[in-house]
Amino acid sequence: MKRYDLIIVGAGPSGLSAGIEAAKKGLRTVVFDENEKPGGQLFKQIHKFFGSKEHRAKVRGYVIGQQLLEEADEAGVEVVLNATVIGLYQDKEVVVKRGGQIEHYKGNAVIIATGAAENMVTFPGWTLPGVIGAGAAQTMMNLHGVLPGKRVLMLGSGNVGLVVSFQLEQCGCEVVALVDAAPRVGGYGVHAAKVARTGVPFYLSHTIVEAEGTDCVTGVTIAEVDNAFHFIPGTEKHFDVDTICLAVGLSPMSQLLKMAGCKMVDDPKKGGQVPVCDPHGRTSLPGVYVAGDVAGIEEASSAMIEGRMAGIAAAEFLGYIGKDEMESELASLDKALDGLRQGMFAPQNRGKQITETEEGIEVSQNLLLHGYVADDELERYPGVTHKAGVHPVIECTQNIPCNPCQDACKKGCISIGSKITSLPIVVEGSECINCGMCVAGCSGQAIFLVDEDCGDGTATVTLPYEFLPPPEVGTRGKGLGRDGKAVCDAEVVSVKSMKAFDKTNLLTIRVPKEYAMKARFFKAV
């Protein structure tokens, strides 16, 4: 039977990373993926990633996908697409369906990197056409160029729900409500804030009562729930929608490991049934490894590190590197992964209610309840300062592992320090030159350049703008508050677009000066 040193199942971020690492160390490596395009979910991710430079922060997901493919190609990884692994048998035998036939392969080692599948929730009408997973919506929009619907209700305020809501708006859909049964927003506050400021209302402690329609979705009713998740009568709200998007979590796709006889464990913190494995992906079956979401739901950034770890572990298992080399490489990856697993959203904090930042500042409750920091909460954060002339206002209020902003500013105006989760501060005495790199470089779209008093009763606000086409200079409209409601008149005075901004346009609007700290989005009227 044809044999490889390493067979990897799944060409997503973890599988490709594993393949690159292993092939670089001399392993004859093949990656099978059932899709016609590699990259897993990466090519659907049009937003900039969080993290640090070494985690490819502020690079858009699909670009990371392209980079990984190039690296895999250089390293000599064979990536086989349209190849569905239908079974993992004894003796690490992998059976692959390709075209009209099946092929048998054996791996001296096997890495399963099959990712995850979307969860569903039930409510009357959940089987109607028009009820779709958020990931499916993303596939339609970003891979196939198909609009999922015109008016959409999103259920789920985790990062997937938030990111996809924003993308739906970018595509021209109207997101009529973002709903979550939980009492607080689950995803990053900055993701929530960029959705809220476009005018999407958040309904926390709400869930779907019923999807309406006979042949397809024509409407939806939501209602508030109490602590026991029971509906509170009289709180029903109705929306006319053609699409209901569900972003209610992911489940590891661990079937291949189960059928191969790996020891499994049900771990709600990891998203469901996962293989029992050590921190570097070794399962209970010698030579079988896991990496990425299949071993526990996390982000693409950690999946890439896990993939590299499994690739290195497999290289040592097969004698391509020594134990010492493995251990030193794994130690540095451990550190990198640990860096990503810090902050308020770290795995160990899942389910915990965090009331204070690492700096001891009270967490914005309005952000958790409504998706945006309230005007009266904003001033307590270290990124929000005031001075004459143009200066950055950093509305980053939660400890997340992300620091591109401090490198973005060549003038040293922004500092995070050595701890990657610290809130960014505006460095006292530094001089802002209004270059806009911080605005474009913030993956959370949370940095604004504000001139609070231009001397003529107006102020200017420069904001990140990722909608196409951008308005022309001179366009008049409304300045929207963080809640997405019109607060003042506004006029576009500048639209900047540069290669270094990586497709984030910088819109500068002129508003009455009392709205300098209130207007955060622009809508033409």
Partner 1 sequence: MNSVNDRSRDIGPFLPGPDDDMIICRCEEITKGEIRQAVHDGMWTLTEIRRYLRTGMGLCQGQTCGRLVKGIVARELGISPAELEPATSRVPMRPIEMEVFANEVPEEKEVGSYED
Partner 2 sequence: MKTNAEVVIVGGGIIGCATAYYLAGMGAEVIVLEGSDHIGNGGSSRNGGGVRQSGRDVRELPLVMYGIRNLWPNLSEELEVDCEYHQDGNLRLGKTEKHREILTKLADSARGVGLDVRMIDGDEVREINPYLSREVICASWCPTDGHANPLTTTLGFYKTARKRGVTFVTGEPVRQLRVIKGKIRQVITPNNIYEGENVLVAAGLDSREILTSVGIDIPMTNSLLECLVTEAQPHMFDQMLGTAEADFYGHQTKHGSFVFGGSSGLERYNKDNGTPVTSSKTAPCICRGIMKYFPDLAKVKIVRTWAGWMDASSDGVPALGAVEEIPGLYVACAFNGHGFGIAPAVGEQLAKLILTGRTDVDLSPLHYDRYKAKI
Q: Which residues sit at the interface with partner 1, rule CB under 8 A?
A: 1-2, 4, 28, 30, 34, 78, 80, 83-87, 89, 95, 97-98, 100-105, 117, 119-124, 126-127, 251, 253-256, 258-259, 266, 268, 272-273
The tokens for 302 are 């950690």
Rounded least distance, CB 100 to partner 1, Å: 5
For 378, list phi and psi in degrees, rounded to 5: -65, -40
Q: Which stretch binds partner 2 (CB under 8 A): 30-38, 87-95, 116-124, 298-306?
A: 87-95
Q: According to the binding rule CB under 8 A, does residue 331 interact with partner 2?
A: no
Q: What is the DSSP letter of 321?
A: S
Rounded least distance, CB 134 to partner 1, Å: 15
Gap between the Cα atoms of 294 and 300, Å rounded: 12
Contact between 355 and 349 (Cβ < 8 Å): no
| Residues 6 or more apart whose Cβ sits within 8 Å of residue 297 | 116, 249, 250, 251, 252, 270, 271
Q: What angle do CA 461, 466, 468 make, to 5 degrees?
A: 115
Nearer to partner 1, 5 or 395 (CB): 5
What residue 234 binds from partner 1, partner 2, none (CB within 5 to 8 A, per partner kind)? none
Nearer to partner 1, 37 or 97 (CB): 97
Fill in the amino acid letter for 62.
Y
| Residues 6 or more apart whose Cβ sits within 8 Å of residue 292 | 10, 12, 13, 14, 15, 113, 115, 298, 303, 306, 307
The tokens for 38 are 């590699």
Gap between the Cα atoms of 194 and 187, Å rounded: 12
Q: Which of 53, 104, 230, 269: binder of partner 2 (CB under 8 A)?
A: 104
The tokens for 493 are 């005075």
Nearer to partner 2, 93 or 325 (CB): 93
Q: What is the DSSP letter of 198?
A: T
Rounded least distance, CB 60 to partner 1, Å: 29
Sites for partner 2 among residues 238-277 (CB under 8 A): 259, 261
Q: Which of 95, 117, 121, 493: binder of partner 2 (CB under 8 A)?
A: 95
The footprint of partner 2 on this chain (CB under 8 A) covers a number of residues equal to 9
Rounded least distance, CB 127 to partner 2, Å: 18
Q: Which stretch binds partner 2 (CB under 8 A): 86-94, 246-254, 301-309, 329-337?
A: 86-94
Rounded least distance, CB 232 to partner 1, Å: 17
Gap between the Cα atoms of 254 and 252, Å rounded: 6
Q: According to the binding rule CB under 8 A, does residue 93 interact with partner 2?
A: yes
What residue 261 binds from partner 1, partner 2, none (CB within 5 to 8 A, per partner kind)? partner 2
Nearer to partner 2, 104 or 150 (CB): 104
Q: Which of 26, 78, 84, 89: binder of partner 2 (CB under 8 A)?
A: 89
Residue the block writes with tokens 């035998």: 93
Q: According to the binding rule CB under 8 A, does residue 201 interact with partner 2?
A: no
Q: According to the binding rule CB under 8 A, does residue 87 interact with partner 2?
A: yes
Q: According to the binding rule CB under 8 A, does residue 126 interact with partner 2?
A: no
Rounded least distance, CB 259 to partner 2, Å: 8
What residue 117 binds from partner 1, partner 2, none (CB within 5 to 8 A, per partner kind)? partner 1
What residue 103 binds from partner 1, partner 2, none (CB within 5 to 8 A, per partner kind)? partner 1
- Strand-strand pairing, 447-451 and 458-465: antiparallel
Q: Which stretch binds partner 2 (CB under 8 A): 90-98, 227-235, 426-434, 457-465?
A: 90-98
User: With helix as H, strand as E and coil as C, how does 449-511 read?
Assistant: EEECCCCCCEEEEEEEECCCCCCCCCCEEEEECCCCCEEEEEEEEEEECCHHHCCCEEEEEEE
Half-sphere exposure of 12 (CA within 13 A, CB side): 28
Q: Which of 90, 122, 353, 418: binder of partner 2 (CB under 8 A)?
A: 90
Distance (Å) of CA 283 to CA 4, 19, 63, 280: 19, 18, 31, 9
- Check the CA dihedral 216-217-219-222 and report its sign: positive
The tokens for 173 are 């859909």
Rounded least distance, CB 117 to partner 1, Å: 6
Query: What does the binding site for partner 2 look like in residue numbers (CB under 8 A)?
Result: 87, 89-90, 93, 95, 102, 104, 259, 261
